[in-house]
Amino acid sequence: MSIKIFCDIADLNNIKKFNKIKLVKGFTTNPSLMRKAGAKDYKLYSKKILNICKNKPVSLEVFADDYVEMKKQAIEINSWKRNVYVKIPVINSRGKFMGRIIKELNENNVKLNITAVYNAKQVQRILKKINKKTEVIISIFAGRAADTGKDPIPEFKQSIKISQKYKNVKILWASVREPYNYLQAKQIGCHIITIPPNLIEKIENFGKSFDTLTKETVKAFLVDSKKSKFKINY
């Protein structure tokens, strides 16, 4: 099964760079990445991203924590461009399941990216709220789950299995920690993986022999030692 690579990013210069790379099929971002990139005006900054990425899907996240404001934000964000997926957290900061807003937006043909998902139980709750027509991405956070000592793979496998009847649903591997996660996601049948820019660049090493990597590593050590003008007096 083929898997699409999205770039998890908010920096405008890097977005321009990776938008030109055929390997990258879409973009995801979030309020934390936006803040890190220096965004001050959320709408203005988001539209700058969309002006760069005109033909690839872009996931833009709401940042409200209550139903009324979250729905207003979602409707507004959805109106910005046809390639927008509105990111909705599976729960709010108080732990309340966002099933009501997921259902209403889905019924109104708003393309969604349900984020901050960690297990198949949450995926099952989402599936009960959506139709089998409007596009939905479900983002499962692998790296953050693994950081707690839990293996995310079984949750992915079960999530993919229970969502098979929904042709409009795509399971996304989020929170990538290393390039090898791409191969893991591909092997278990994820539809999408969103990867930080620095790790996408490392995927270019895929297929290199260990001998080649050894030679490149030793050369790098040699270059750095010469730049540092290291000497040992005997």
> Would you give the end-to-end CA distance of the chain in angstroms?
59
The whole-angstrom separation of Cα 60 and Cα 28 is: 7
Q: Dihedral sign, CA of 159, 67, 32, 150?
A: negative
Q: Dihedral sign, CA of 127, 132, 137, 140?
A: positive
DSSP 63: -
Containing H/E element for 59? strand 58-61
Selecting among 87, 111, 129, 170, the annotated active-site residue is 87
The whole-angstrom separation of Cα 221 and Cα 204 is: 21
Closest CA to 4 of 97, 121, 85: 85
Strands (E), 71-217: 84-89, 112-117, 136-141, 169-174, 192-195
- HSE-up of residue 53 (Cα within 13 Å, Cβ side): 36
DSSP helix/strand/coil, 64: coil
Annotation marks residue 202 as catalytic: no
Amino acid present at 189: G
* Residues annotated as catalytic (active site), given as ranges: 87
